[in-house]
Homo-oligomer: A and B are copies of this chain.
Amino acid sequence: MNLEPAVKYSHTLLSPIIAQGDTVVDATVGNGNDTLFLASRVGATGHVLGFDVQQPALDRTATQLTLTGMTRQVRLIHDGHEHLDQYLEPQQQITAAIFNLGYLPGSNKQIITHGETTISALKTCLAHLRRGGIVALVVYYGHPGGEQEKETVLQTVKQLDQQQYSVLQYGFINQIHQPPFLLAIQKR
């Protein structure tokens, strides 16, 4: 059994905490892998809110959802995740959220997530997170602008009150090509 890459470990952490019928957020739909994972966890009675600023990413994911019979529980939203609060009721609780920070592989490398909007979306997620819920951020940082966003995010999450949140960092530290690492924030 091999040590899990950060992307895989994010699913390992989220799987046991997400129940059928839950509401969850995919803050960066991208290639749709996380959207499909979340949709399968919440089931037909659950809700996945999936954000992306690139319409082609949403279109491709919509196709995958149709092919897997999971369109019902997913709302794909062509908007920046910093507007998440406009799509949630004030008292609505979420069980989980996933962010993939960086650019969409195979797409325009100029279109990247940014520290400021990422933090804004993260704070909304934390405000709606139920106890025991987890926000997972998979941090890619090898691209131009990546290092800056990484530092912004790290500084923010390191300052989260340990009485309210546990912030785990998981990553491989002997790799030449800066693989992504995982930040998992659990509400206590």
Task: Give the B-binding residues of A (Cβ under 8 A).
Answer: 1-3, 13, 16-17, 132, 134, 154, 157-162, 165-176, 184, 186
Can you give 13 contacting A-B residue pairs, CB < 8 Å?
A1-B17, A1-B132, A2-B166, A157-B173, A157-B174, A158-B174, A160-B174, A162-B172, A162-B174, A162-B175, A167-B172, A167-B173, A168-B173
> A174 near B170 (CB under 8 angstroms)?
no
Copies of this chain present: 2
Cα A16 to Cα B170 with chains together (Å): 19
The listed residue with most B CB atoms (<10 A of its CB), out of A157, A159, A166, A175, is A166
Distance in angstroms between the alpha carbons of A161 and B2 in the assembled complex: 17
Interface of A, helix, strand, loop or mixed by DSSP: mixed
**When the two chains form their complex, are residues B184 and A174 in contact, meaning their CB atoms are under 8 A apart?**
no
A169 to B134, CA, bound (A): 19
Closest Cβ neighbor of A156 among chain B residues: B174
Q: Measured between C-beta atoms, what is the minimum distance from A183 to chain B in Å?
A: 8
B174 touches A159 (CB 8 A): yes
Q: Which 5 residue pairs spanning A and B have beta carbons closest together?
A: A167-B174, A1-B16, A169-B173, A160-B174, A3-B168
- A164 and chain B: residue at smallest CB distance: B174
Question: Is B17 within 8 A of A13, CB to CB?
Answer: no
How far in angstroms is the closest Cβ of chain B from A21? Answer: 18
Contacts of A132 in B (CB 8 A): 1-2
| B3, B17, B158: the one within 8 Å of A186 (CB) | B3
